[in-house]
Amino acid sequence: MRLGQKEKLFLDLMRNFIEAINGIEAIWMYDREGLLISKYARAELSKDGLNEYEREEIYGAFASIFDPLLKKINSEYKIGELGSITFETLDHHIIFLEAGPKAIVLIITVYDLEISSILPYCYLFVEKVVQIIEESFDLKYNTVMIPKLIIGNSFDNTLKSSFVKTENNEILIGRKKEVNFFKLIIIGDAAVGKTSMISRFVKGKFSTDYRPTLGISITTMRFNIQGFEDSVVRFLIFDLAGQEFFKRVRHMYYSGAQAVFVVYDITRRETFKGADFWFEDAKKELGDIPFVLIGNKIDLENERQISTEEGMEKAKNFRCTFVETSVKTNVNVEDTFKILGIGMFFRKIDDLDVPES
Write the single-letter amino acid at 194: K
pLDDT of residue 46: 83
Separation between Cα atoms, residue 115 and residue 217, nearest integer Å = 36
Does residue 135 sit in the same domain as residue 283?
Answer: no
Question: Which residue, of 146, 173, 196, is where some domain finishes?
Answer: 146
Separation between Cα atoms, residue 171 and residue 107, nearest integer Å = 14
pLDDT of residue 354: 39
Give the mean pLDDT of the chain: 83
Which structural domain range is residue 63 located in?
3-146
pLDDT of residue 294: 98
The number of folded domains in the chain is 2
Question: Which residue, of 103, 123, 146, is where some domain finishes?
Answer: 146
Does residue 200 sit in the same domain as residue 52?
Answer: no
Burial class from Cβ neighbours inside 10 Å (0-12, 13-18, 19+) for residue 67 reads exposed
CATH number at residue 338: 3.40.50.300
In tens, the pLDDT along 56-106 reads 998 998 888 888 888 888 787 777 666 678 888 889 999 999 898 889 999
Confidence bin at 164 (pLDDT 50/70/90): very low
Does residue 312 sit in the same domain as residue 241?
Answer: yes
Q: Is residue 164 part of a domain?
A: no
Q: Say whether pLDDT at 213 is over 60.
A: no
Q: What is the mean pLDDT of residues 5-12?
A: 93
User: Which candidate, 112, 111, 113, 77, places its Cα nearest to that of 97?
Assistant: 77
Between 140 and 126, name the one with better pLDDT: 126
In tens, the pLDDT along 241-251 reads 765 656 666 77
- Residues 193 and 266: beta-carbon distance below 8 Å: no
Rounded percentage of the chain residues whose pLDDT exceeds 90: 48
Separation between Cα atoms, residue 243 and residue 189, nearest integer Å = 7
pLDDT of residue 41: 95
Does residue 46 sit in the same domain as residue 124?
Answer: yes
- The whole-model pTM stands at 0.84
pLDDT of residue 272: 98
